[in-house]
Amino acid sequence: MMGLVSPRSRTAPSREEKKAQTRARLLDAAAVVFAKKGFAGASLDDVADEAGLTKGAVYSNFANKTDLIRVLLDLHLGVRSDAIPGEVDPHLPQPEQAARAGELFMAMLTEERESYLLELEFLLYLARNPDERNPTNYLARRRAIADIMQQRADEDGYTLPLPAEDLATAVFALGAGIALERLVNPAHVPDDLFGRMLAVIFGVAGDQPGKPGSDKR
Amino acid sequence: MMGLVSPRSRTAPSREEKKAQTRARLLDAAAVVFAKKGFAGASLDDVADEAGLTKGAVYSNFANKTDLIRVLLDLHLGVRSDAIPGEVDPHLPQPEQAARAGELFMAMLTEERESYLLELEFLLYLARNPDERNPTNYLARRRAIADIMQQRADEDGYTLPLPAEDLATAVFALGAGIALERLVNPAHVPDDLFGRMLAVIFGVAGDQPGKPGSDKR
DNA sequence: TGTACATCAGTGAACGCGCGTTCACTGATGTAC
DNA sequence: TGTACATCAGTGAACGCGCGTTCACTGATGTAC
C-alpha cells in the first residue's frame, strides 16, 4: 500500500519511519519463523535473524515474546480467505460459483501453506489461552459470508438447506478441515473436493455418478 | 490379610510388568501434558511430574523426547472417532443416522477436548516434519468409512453424491473443521450442526422446495 | 547556516534459568548353586 | 530352602546449552540557538 511518494523519500527517512519499517520487517519475519517452528519452538534470535536484525530490535518494538505473538495474531487471523466471495462472479450459475470458490480456496492453500500453518498455530494458541482477548473478527466474517449466500440464493430463487449463519459456519469448517488434511497428506485430497462439496451442499449437485444422462447447461 | 486372590497379585510384580506399567503411566501423563502445553512448550519434567516419576524414568523407557512424541503419536492418532459408525443403528432412516452420528461426534468433542488438542498438536507436528513416518492409518480408516457409507447407500437404495472415498474425506474434514472451530469458540457452533450437515450431504435433507419428492428405487 | 547537545532505535554482550540429556548410584528383582 | 552375586528400572544430581530478558553503549536523527 504505498501511496504517493512523499517529499520525505528524497530525504533520509525520519526516525519514526525507520522504526515503523523495522517493526514491519520483524512482523514479517515472525510470521515466517513461527509458521515454520511454532511459537514455542521458534526463538527471538530466529525472528531477528530472519529480519536481518538483532534481538534488541525485537525488544525495542515489542514488550516481549508474548506481545509479539499477540500483535501478529491481531494482524493475521482470518485475513486469508476473506477475499474469496468477492472474486467469484455472482452471475455464473450456482454450481460454477461453487466450483470457482472451491478452486480459489484450494489454490490459496497450495500457495500459502505457510499462512495456514501460522493460522493453525494461532488457533491452538487461542484454544490454550482462552483468557486471551480473542481478536477474531470471526462473527463479522461469518455474517458477511452468510449475507452473501442468502442474497445469491434469493436472487437465483433457491432455498438454502440450513439457516445462512449455520451454513456459513459449516462451510468455514469444511474449508478448515480440508486445509488441515491437505497440510498433512497433500496427496489424499483431490483439488476439486471443496468445490464439489459446495455444489452438493447448495443443492445443485450437477451430475451424480451412476446417473447417466444428466445434462450440463 | 486379604483372602484368595490370583497368585500373581500375591506375588510382587515382575520387573517386566512394572516397567510396562511405568511406560504406560508416562504415556498417559505425556498425553495430558502435551495437550495442555504443546510438544515444544511442555518439558520432560512436566511429563515425569504428571506421572509421579522422575525424568530418569522417561529416559529409561524412551530414547529421547522425540521418541516419546513418536510413540505417543502412533498410539493416539485417529483413535478418537473410529468407533462412531459402529454405534449408529443402521436400521434407522438415513436422516436419523446422520443426526445420531453428529450427536456422538459432538459429545465426544465436548468430553474430550484434550484429546482433540493433542491430535491437532500431532497434525501440526506431522505437517512440519514430513520426513517423519506418517503413522496415520488414515487411508485404512477412510476406506472403512467409505465402505460403510457405500454399503448403507446400496441397501437403502440411494446414491451417494460423490464417490465414496471422496465423500469420506469430506466428512472427516467437516468434522475436523467443526472440532477446530469449537475448540476456539465453543459458543459459535450449534450442537446439531454436524448432524444437520450430514443430512444435507447425504441428500435426504428433508424437503427441498422446488425439488419434487425423491423416490427410492 | 553551522555548532553543541539531547534523544532514542538498534547493537552486542551478559545474565540466569529451564531444558534435554548424561551418569553414577541404589535397591528391588532375578538367577545360580 | 537359603545364600551370594548379577541385573537393571528408576533416582537424583550434574552438565552445558539455548533461550528470554536486561543493559550499557553507539551513532544517526532531532532540536535549540
Task: Using an 8 Å CB-CB cutoff, list chain B residues near A196.
Answer: 162, 166
A193:B169 CB<8 A? yes
- Minimal CA–CA distance to B98: which of B194, B216, B214? B194
B124:A38 CB<8 A? yes
B169:A181 CB<8 A? yes
- b/e for B86-99, b at 16 or more Cβ within 10 A? eebeeeeebbebbb
Proximity of residue A43 CB to strand C below 7 A: no
For the segment B168-185, the average pLDDT, to the nearest whole number, is 95
B89-135 pLDDT, tens per residue? 989 888 889 999 999 999 999 998 999 999 999 999 999 998 776 66
Rounded to 5°, angle at Cα A190 from A187 and A194: 135
**Which is more confidently placed, A202 or B173?**
B173
pTM of the entire predicted model: 0.86
Q: How far is the CA of B47 from the C1' of D16 (A)?
A: 22
Proximity of residue B12 CB to strand C below 7 A: yes
Distance CA A55, CA A48 (A): 5
Q: How far is the CA of B9 from the C1' of D10 (A)?
A: 22
Closest-lying nucleotide for B67 based on CA to C1': C20
Distance CA A81, CA A104 (A): 9
The set of residues, in sequence order, having a beta carbon less than 8 Å from that of B97 and lying 6+ positions away, is: B88, B89, B90, B152
Are B101 and B84 in contact, with CB atoms under 8 Å apart?
A: yes
Q: What is the Cα gyration radius of chain A?
A: 21
Average pLDDT, chain B: 86
**Which is more confidently placed, A201 or A10?**
A201
Examine the pLDDT at A6 and tell me if it is beyond 50: no
- pLDDT band for position B80 (50/70/90)? low
pLDDT of residue A101: 94
Q: Alpha helices, DSSP H only, in chain B?
A: 7-10, 15-41, 44-51, 55-61, 65-76, 84-87, 94-111, 113-128, 138-156, 164-184, 193-201
Phi, psi of B196, deg, nearest 5: -65, -40
Q: How far is the CA of A59 from the C1' of D18 (A)?
A: 18
Average pLDDT, chain A: 86
Distance CA B83, CA A12 (A): 66
pLDDT of residue A217: 34
Point out the least confidently predicted range of A2-11, A141-150, B162-171, B208-217: B208-217
Examine the pLDDT at A93 and tell me if it is beyond 50: yes
Distance from CA of B177 to the nearest CA of A (A): 4
Examine the pLDDT at B78 and tell me if it is beyond 80: no
pLDDT of residue A11: 61
Are A81 and A39 in contact, with CB atoms under 8 Å apart?
A: no
A12-53 pLDDT, tens per residue? 678 899 999 999 999 999 999 999 999 999 999 999 999 999
B8-60 pLDDT, tens per residue? 444 667 889 999 999 999 999 999 999 999 999 999 999 999 999 999 999 99
Quickly tell me which residue has 512523499 as its cell: A6
- pLDDT band for position B2 (50/70/90)? very low
B185:A40 CB<8 A? no
- Minimal CA–CA distance to A58: which of A88, A87, A83, A25? A25
